[in-house]
Amino acid sequence: MDKRELEDVLPLTAVQEGLLFHAVYDDAAPDVYLVQLSFELEGPADPARFRRAAEALVRRHPPLRAGFLHHGLSQPVQFVPREVPLRWHEADLRELDEEERRGALQRWLVEDRGTRFDLARPPLIRFALFRLGDDRFQLVVTHHHILLDGWSLPLVVQEYFALYDHNGDEAALPRAVPYRTYLEWCGRQDRDAAREAWREALAGLEEPTLLTSAAPGRTTVPRRSSRSTCPPSWPTNSPCGPGNWGSPSIRWCRPGGGFCWAD
C-alpha cells in the first residue's frame, strides 16, 4: 500500500494483541471473536439510505477501517487506510414463501458466521440487508471483536441508525473523538503497578484454571437470541426515540456476541 493511501499507523492495545494472537493461532478454524448482529426491522425503510449510512459510519471512525499486521515486525501494528471499499450485501427475498425465506436467511447467517475476516485486509466489518416484505427487513452487521469492545458497540450501532435518519450526513453528529487519544491515555498508565495488581490477584494460582465446563455438541461459534427494551434515557433522535417516526422500528436482534438492542 502506498504511504499516501494511509491515514495512520498505530500500536495495539493489550486486548487487541490478545485477540490478534487468537485470530492467527488457528486460521483454519471458525473465529470465535467474529460478532454478528441481526436486526429485524419493520417500517418504510430505504435500502439506499442504509448503505449510505454504513459508508458514512466507516468513513467517520478510522478504527472501523483498520487492518492488522504482525509478520516480520517486532510489535504488531494496526494500519488505517484513508479509504476502504464497503462490504455490503443486499438481497430481496419477497418472491419466496415464508418457509423458504426463513430457510434462505438462516443459511446465509450460518455461512456469514463461518466466514472469517483476513485481519490484514480491511475493513473488518460488513453489512447485509435482506428485504423480507414490503415493510419488513433484516439488517445484519458482522465485525471482528478486535475493532469494537462491548462499550463501543452500542454507541456505534446507535450512530449507524442516526446516520440513517440523516441520510448519511456525518455533520449531523458530534465530532468523533480520535482513537489515538485513547491509545495515548493507555500509554500514560503505570504498567508496573498494573502487573503488581494482577500478580497480587493471581497469587497462589499455580495451575491452569477451567473457565467453563465442556459442552458436548456445542458449536464453535455460539449463537444466542434475546430481547430487550430501549432505555427511557435514550435521546429522542435514537432509533427508538418517539421523535423518529420516519425510521423503521427495530423489533429485535439476534446477536452472535451477546449484545441486544430493540424496541
DSSP 30-82: --TTEEEEEEEEES---HHHHHHHHHHHHHH-GGGG-EEE-TT-SS-EEEEES
End-to-end CA distance of the chain: 43
Predicted confidence at residue 255, as pLDDT, reads: 40
Q: How many domains does the chain have?
A: 1
Main-chain phi, psi angles of 129, to 5 degrees: -135, 125
Residue 195 lies in a domain: no
The helix (run of H) or strand (run of E) holding residue 251 is: strand 249-255
Cβ-proximal residues to 64 (8 Å cutoff; 6+ apart), any chain: 57, 58, 123, 124, 125, 143, 147, 156
For residue 32, the enclosing domain spans 3-188+221-255
Residue 209 lies in a domain: no
Predicted confidence at residue 207, as pLDDT, reads: 85
pTM assigned to the model: 0.79
Residue 228 lies in a domain: yes
* Residue written as grid cell 477501517: 65
Predicted confidence at residue 213, as pLDDT, reads: 67
Reduced DSSP (H G I as helix, E B as strand, rest coil) percent helix, strand, coil of the chain, to 5: 35, 20, 45
Of 234, 259, 247, residue with least CA distance to 163: 247
Of 17, 48, 60, residue with least CA distance to 156: 60
Residue 251 lies in a domain: yes
Question: In the chain, what is the greatest distance between 2 CA atoms, to the nearest angstrom?
Answer: 63
Which CATH number do you get for residue 240?
A: 3.30.559.10
Which amino acid is located at 100 in the chain? E
Main-chain phi, psi angles of 58, to 5 degrees: -70, -35
CA distances from 102 to 5, 36, 132, 226, 262 (A): 42, 17, 9, 18, 20
Over the chain (263 residues), the average pLDDT of each successive run of 10 is 86 94 87 93 92 97 96 94 96 95 95 95 97 94 94 93 95 92 90 93 84 60 43 38 42 40 38
Please count the other Cβ atoms lying within 10 Å of the Cβ belonging to residue 234. 14
Residue 146 lies in a domain: yes
